[in-house]
Amino acid sequence: MSRAASPRRAPLWRDRSFGTYWIAQSLSAAGDAFAYLAVPLLVLQATGSVAQMGLLTAVAGAASVVAGIFGGVLVDRYDRRTLMIVADLARVVLYALVPLAWLAGPQVWLLFVVLPICEAAGMLFQVAAVTAVRNLVDSDRLTEANGRLQATFAAAAVLGPLLAGVVSARFGPAVAIAVNAASFALSAAGLRLVRLRSAPAADVAVPRERPLAEFLAGARFLWRQPVLRALTVLLSVFIFLTYGFTDVLIYHVTHDLGGTERTVGAVLGLAALGTVAGALLVAPLRRRRGFGATWIGAHAVCGFAVAGAGMATSVPAVTTLTAVYLCCLSVGGICSMSLRQEITPDHLLGRVTSAFWSTHYALGPAGAAILTWAAGRYGVAAVAFAAGVGCLLVAVGGLFTPIRRAGAQTHLSPPAVPVGQAG
């Protein structure tokens, strides 16, 4: 059980374990921010094709979805910190192969091997990272902890693309990927210093079953909770519409607006300030407006921002609208993540997180391939308008589900999970 809220508790930044974890996660996020820009630029530089960018995103996304199916089972079976370290070290080795291979000239085929494996390792890392927060802070501080983590990740996302754009323009995207590999090594070193709490006695796992049965236990829990079920369905549609948005945005800035690698880095870096704003705003917004209104409102604004960014004819306008999109995406994502952490028993948290991500990301790879293909054929403006309208309809759909009536997360009751089905 979590401790009751107390004004005498030390602030989170003074909690040594959380602080160390915070730093390690920030380093990992910095690496992701470099890859976020460097990999698409590497493909665009080598092929000049937005469709190739989308295909790579789709293949990597499919690997991530498959890894998500098994990731939750691993996270609930084994030590979460160890799994995160292993995932970081795997990405160090794999990403380091890219700049080495590029010394002999562009090797686009290697990206189709390395990136899917790295995305699979990244999915395992993310599932473990989300569940690890439950073992670092009390339940009543989860939203605060998630907000602080996401704000720091967003700060890394501001500097990451800016620096990646500078490095890519000066030395090439392959060197930026080498920096990415180094950041994961630092993250792994930091995680070795973190100590996680043991699960509460009430959450001790029952004997193991087959991996598929254990995954399905998480999926059943997810499906039986009305708000989580509605979130999963609506976010599956949302991910289909937006998974390829970054590729389309990079293509829009470089192809339509005549920007350089440095310009793209500046756009993504400055726009990431929106994620910082969202992470800082989410806790007070949820307290004042409740979960439902906050989540639905955030995704409605996302729709307008996506449509506007694709139709914008200047770099400052694209940057501003992308920042609005990322702000609202951050608000909605933190709300959703905190909800799952609040109401899911610890021994099921990895599998519920895994089932949630695997399900709602499942349509993402197809969406990325279709979105980027359509952008190359019909233009960014038309595709972004259609995606924006779809995002708005997702928000409207939330008005007709239990999401609309959901208030504070702590007022939501988890469904009963028979011991025989808990996994």
pLDDT in tens, 264-278: 878 887 887 888 788
Please check the confidence at residue 419 and state whether its pLDDT lies above 50. Answer: no
Nearest one of 91, 95, 103 to 39, comparing CA atoms: 95
pLDDT of residue 15 exceeding 70, the answer is no
C-alpha neighbours within 13 Å on the C-beta side of residue 349? 27
Contacts of 344 (CB under 8 A, 6+ apart): 221, 352, 353, 414
- Looking at the domain assignment, is residue 203 inside a domain? no
Q: Is residue 420 part of a domain?
A: no
Task: Report the chain's mean pLDDT, rounded to a whole number.
Answer: 78
CB count, 10 Å around CB of 57?
26
Residue-wise pLDDT for 325-360, tens only, equals 999 998 998 888 788 777 777 777 777 777 787 777
The torsion region of residue 18 among left (phi > 0), alpha (psi -120 to 50) and beta comes to alpha
Q: Which residue has the higher pLDDT, 355 or 88?
A: 88
Cβ-Cβ contacts under 8 Å for 384 (sequence gap 6 or more): 248, 252, 306, 307, 308, 309, 310, 311
pLDDT higher than 90, residue 323: yes
Highest mean pLDDT among 27-36, 64-73, 279-288: 279-288
Residue 185 located in a structural domain: yes
Split at pLDDT 50, 70, 90, the class of 205 is very low
Q: For the chain, first and last CA: distance in Å? A: 21
Q: Are 402 and 226 in contact (CB under 8 A)?
A: yes
**More reliable by pLDDT, 241 or 70:** 241
CATH code for the domain of 381: 1.20.1250.20
- CA 247 remoteness from chain centre: 16
Determine, yes or no, domain membership for 62: yes
Q: What is the pLDDT of residue 4?
A: 41
pLDDT of residue 234: 93
Predicted TM-score (pTM) of the model is: 0.66
CB atoms within 10 A of CB 220: 20
Asked if residue 421 is part of any domain, the answer here is no
- HSE-up of residue 81 (Cα within 13 Å, Cβ side): 18
User: What integer is the mean pLDDT of 78-105?
Assistant: 86
Give the range of the structural domain holding residue 140, as residue numbers without chain letter: 14-194+208-411
Residue 416 lies in a domain: no
**pLDDT tens-digit readout, 148-188:** 777 777 677 677 777 777 777 777 777 878 888 888 888 88
Residue 83 lies in a domain: yes
The total number of structural domains in the chain stands at 1
On the question of pLDDT at 40 being above 70, the answer is: yes
In a domain, 351, yes or no: yes
275's tokens: 């994620």
Distance CA 258, CA 264 (A): 10
Flag whether pLDDT at 414 surpasses 60.
no
| Eight-class DSSP state of 260 | -
Q: How confident is the model at residue 305 (pLDDT cuts 50, 70, 90)?
A: very high
229-259 burial code (b ≥16 CB/10 A, e <16): ebbbbbbbbbbbbbbbbbbbbbbbbbebbeb
Task: Round to whole Å and give the CA distance between 317 and 332.
Answer: 23
Most confident of 41-45, 374-378, 404-408: 374-378
